[in-house]
Amino acid sequence: MNSDTTGFLIYVALAVVASLIAHIFVRRFWVTCAVVAVGCSLLNIAHELVTHDFHIRPSDVAFWLPMLLAYGVAISFPIAFLTGLPFYFYKRRRKRL
């Protein structure tokens, strides 16, 4: 398995764990999904910055950092949504009883 695949799987595992922890402690479903998605994406950007020794060019700020943010959100939001659905239905059913 190459390093790109390993990095992606670690990112997905981080998103799942962060989503589970956040959905346990936060009641609002959509807010939790959005916060987890943006938070995981920002952690991915921080990892990329550390990997490249904090050498940032203006083109990185203008193009690549927003692309990394969008990529991270596109990956982690569905993960947060799917892992949060059981918590949402459980809290909704419990609230109704």
Domain positions in the chain: 3-96
> What is the dihedral sign for C-alpha 3, 53, 60, 11?
positive
**Tokens linked to 2:** 């190459």
3-state secondary structure 7-51: HHHHHHHHHHHHHHHHHHHCCCHHHHHHHHHHHHHHHHHHHHHHH
Give pLDDT tens digits for 8-53: 898 999 999 999 999 999 989 999 999 999 999 998 888 888 877 7
pTM over 0.85: no
pLDDT at 97 over 70: no
C-alpha distances in Å from residue 39, one per residue of 22, 70, 91, 97: 11, 12, 24, 33
Region 59-80: mean pLDDT is 87
